[in-house]
Chains A and B, each alone.
Chain A
Amino acid sequence: NAGVTQTPKFRVLKTGQSMTLLCAQDMNHEYMYWYRQDPGMGLRLIHYSVGEGTTAKGEVPDGYNVSRLKKQNFLLGLESAAPSQTSVYFCASSSLALNSTDTQYFGPGTRLTVL
Chain B
Amino acid sequence: GQSLEQPSEVTAVEGAIVQINCTYQTSGFYGLSWYQQHDGGAPTFLSYNALDGLEETGRFSSFLSRSDSYGYLLLQELQMKDSASYFCAVDSGYSTLTFGKGTMLLVSP
Contacts and interface: CB of A to CB of B under 8 A. Distances in A.
Interface residues of A, number: 28
Contacts, number: 60
Contact of A98 (B30, B44, B87, B101): B30
A91 to B, nearest CB: 10
Contacts of A101: 48, 50
A103 B45 contact: yes
A99 B97 CA distance: 10
A41 interface: yes
Contacts of A44: 99
A13 interface: no
A37 B30 CA distance: 24
B101 A58 contact: no
A48 B95 CA distance: 9
A43 B30 contact: no
B33 interface: yes
B interface majority secondary structure: loop
A42 B8 CA distance: 11
A44 B96 CA distance: 11
B43 A90 contact: yes
16 contacts: A31-B95, A40-B101, A42-B87, A42-B100, A42-B101, A42-B102, A43-B43, A45-B96, A48-B96, A98-B93, A98-B95, A98-B97, A99-B91, A106-B44, A108-B41, A109-B42
Interface of B: 8, 30-31, 33, 40-45, 48, 50, 87, 89, 91, 93, 95-102
Given A42-B87, A109-B41, 8 more contacts: A35-B99, A42-B99, A43-B87, A44-B99, A88-B40, A97-B95, A106-B42, A108-B41
